[in-house]
Amino acid sequence: MFSIGETARDSGLGVSALRFYDRAGVLVPAWVDPVSGYRWYEPGQLEEARLLARLRRAGMPLADIRLVLASWSGADTDLLRKLLEAHLRRLEQGLSEARSEFSTLRPLLDQRENGMTSLRTATVQLTTAAPELAAALDTVRFAASTDPELPMLGGVLFDIEGESLHVVATDRYRMAVARAGVAGHDGNRVQAIVPAPLTDAMRALLHGEEPVRLSLDNDRVTLEAGDGQAAGRCLDHDFPDYRRLLPRAGERRALVDVADFREALETGPVRPDETGAHDLSVLSVEDDGTVTLCADGDGGDPNRVAVNRRFLLDALAAGARDRLLLEFTAPTAPIAIRRPDDESGFSILMPVRLED
């Protein structure tokens, strides 16, 4: 027999995913040690686990996967083929409908591009406090995207308006915003996307207490700190209007001790996402501000919200406080992580839909 670790390694499913599929009755281990609770799988179940991983990557619902696995181990190959073909038809129909909708959006996008005014063509010279800028960059850097298909998200937005510099990063699943005060700019709003490597080079210079100089000259950005300088070209893209993504005040608030909450996340129950590739933490939020971790999640429970556990741990670390405020509105609304004593920096996490 195979241990749960061996089965996870050889099937492509995580250990937490195998535990979830056991609880869901999709792939039940052949034997569970009554003392330790450790799960063991028969050789034939390894093949089923590999099949399960493929079906989840293909986006098949759990209800259909149950039938596929039942047919796989039996003699009903006709039902098996029909289930696979039906799911493929659904995927093809969905792709066809998406292409049709996108074809109508492209002309509208062309019209918007022709009428938009860029915020990137300007020359700006300003100063800011090194500790403020360092703290702002530390707050947002974790949320920058590494997806090569979305190069406009592969850096940190510097959004300058009046006496404020907002730095913003997002990878679609999370977004972080922070503010630093600036002096020397009294013109119109100016934006620049600083590539992630250049952002890191700038951060490395921000170790003193003296003001630093930030310059934007069309497509080039320069930071001068003491005798050090970091300079390079900005990304030639437009950043999404992050202000439209900012969450409204959450209906439920929970003030958490970061160290205790982190330990609970790292040791508490998890369940896999739809692909089985990421661990989700299911948070139960009560009206009195109590937050608990749940072993399972009900997609219809308004008090339970599922989030990518690693993303939440990253946000807690970037918050750089002993206590942080979590704001919840609904299971489908973003979760806001704020500093209770400082409104200048916060992050939001997109929830992950739970299956009923």
Tell me what the mean pLDDT of segment 27-42 comes to: 91
pLDDT band at 186; cut points 50, 70, 90 = confident
| CATH number, residue 186 | 3.10.150.10
Whether 29 is in a domain gets the answer yes
Domain ranges, residue 55: 2-83
pLDDT band at 230; cut points 50, 70, 90 = very high
pLDDT at 250: 63
One domain for residues 163 and 183: yes
One domain for residues 240 and 150: yes
Domain boundary among 244, 261, 294: 244
Domain boundary among 199, 218, 244: 244
For residue 295, is it left (φ>0), alpha (ψ between -120 and 50) or beta? alpha
The Cα diameter of the chain in Å comes to 77
One domain for residues 223 and 271: no
- Least confident residue range of 48-62, 178-192, 247-261: 247-261
One domain for residues 296 and 342: yes
Tokens of 31: 């034997």
pLDDT at 121: 58
Round to whole Å and give the CA distance between 321 and 64.
Answer: 45
pLDDT at 284: 86
Whether 314 is in a domain gets the answer yes
Tokens of 42: 């028969």
